[in-house]
Homo-oligomer: A and B are copies of this chain.
Amino acid sequence: MQATFEQLRDKMTKVLIEDDFSRHLGIEILEFEEKFIKARIPFKENVKNNYGSVHGGVLYSFADILGGCVACMSGKFCTTVEGNMNYLEPAVSKDYIYCEAKRVRGGNHLIVVKVKIRNDSGKLLDDGSFTFYRSNEDVVSE
């Protein structure tokens, strides 16, 4: 029996919440669809670099984690094959940094997700893309 959207979403939400690194970033889900997810992290000291903006690595991690969630919504666990990020503006914000991840290529073995990162006022800070390998292992096992 194939997992429902709700089962997959609940499982992935649980994975995120229980993951130490995701919790360090403070990821909070705002929208969660089958092929799209939007979330935010607080613009706080623990993710800032020496220049007072968010670490490039934190931004990438945030995007990769959301991308992985979108990929896993295909029903199978997925792992990142390749990721890249373009940094367009310093990642500063008042309260939060937002990320949207959208599936743009799906398939039995490969999934591609595009990400956009914005500040509180909606300004585009970064964008990137991630390629995931889709395994045979079910996200929700019976």
Contacts and interface: CB of A to CB of B under 8 A. Distances in A.
A60 B105 CA distance: 18
Contacts of A19: 49-50
Contact of A84 (B61, B84, B104, B109): B84
A83 interface: yes
Contacts of A64: 55-57, 60
Copies of the protein in its oligomer: 4
Nearest to A88: B105
A127 B86 CA distance: 13
Contact of A79 (B21, B82, B87): B87
A109 B112 contact: no
Interface residues of A, number: 47
Contacts of A20: 45-48
B110 A133 contact: yes
A77 interface: yes
A77 B57 contact: no
B61 A49 contact: no
Interface of A: 15, 19-21, 24, 45-51, 55-58, 60-62, 64-65, 68, 77, 79-90, 104-105, 107, 109-110, 112, 114, 124, 127, 129, 131, 133
10 contacts: A21-B55, A21-B57, A80-B87, A81-B110, A82-B86, A82-B129, A83-B87, A86-B105, A107-B133, A110-B133
